A = this chain, B = another copy of it.
């Protein structure tokens, strides 16, 4: 169990590569990102529930906390690297190995990760939505502080708009888009 916590500590040291390669010195860590994904998931999941959607909030939170764990082994491969590397396959193998020390729990957690990776459950898809949203909020924050050259990240906005969750969080997405325009 301690091994798992020590491996997770690597996420604190791993820079988010997309930012780094675009020239942002000392960008956020993978753990930084995961933290806000978890917070966003918490708020969005509770809101969905409030509006009558049948969602398992506990499950959504677990997925959000686990969703980038595999990067402790394979690092945060930037999108570009994924043309040369089968990230999905590598990440699955990595996360399986990381969880193995938990014995009985390992299979449950692995399945949660798969629901995220394959987008096969509502909760998995919500974390994917939160993951993209978090990245855009960070892009906005970087741009607001004067960093440029991040346009291509905003393609993810399209993903959010075509998501099943868009109707519920339209106001939130619109507000972010507006803020970006005002920079």
Residue of B20, B21, B138, B145 near A22 (CB, 8 A) is B145
A158 lies within 8 A of chain B by Cβ = no
**Contact partners of A146 in chain B: CB under 8 A:** 146-149
With most chain B CB atoms within 10 A of its CB, the pick from A1, A23, A66, A104 is A23
Given contacts A57-B58, A85-B74, contact A10 B4 (CB under 8 A): no
The CA-CA distance from A50 to B176 in the complex, in Å, is 42
Look across to chain B and name the residue whose beta carbon is closest to the beta carbon of A96.
B84
The CA-CA distance from A39 to B138 in the complex, in Å, is 22
The interface residues of chain A, by DSSP majority, are classed as helix
Q: For residue A72, give the distance in angstroms from its CB to the closest CB of chain B.
A: 9
**Contact partners of A94 in chain B: CB under 8 A:** 81, 84
The CA-CA distance from A145 to B4 in the complex, in Å, is 18
**Contact partners of A102 in chain B: CB under 8 A:** 43
The CA-CA distance from A32 to B58 in the complex, in Å, is 21
Look across to chain B and name the residue whose beta carbon is closest to the beta carbon of A137.
B5
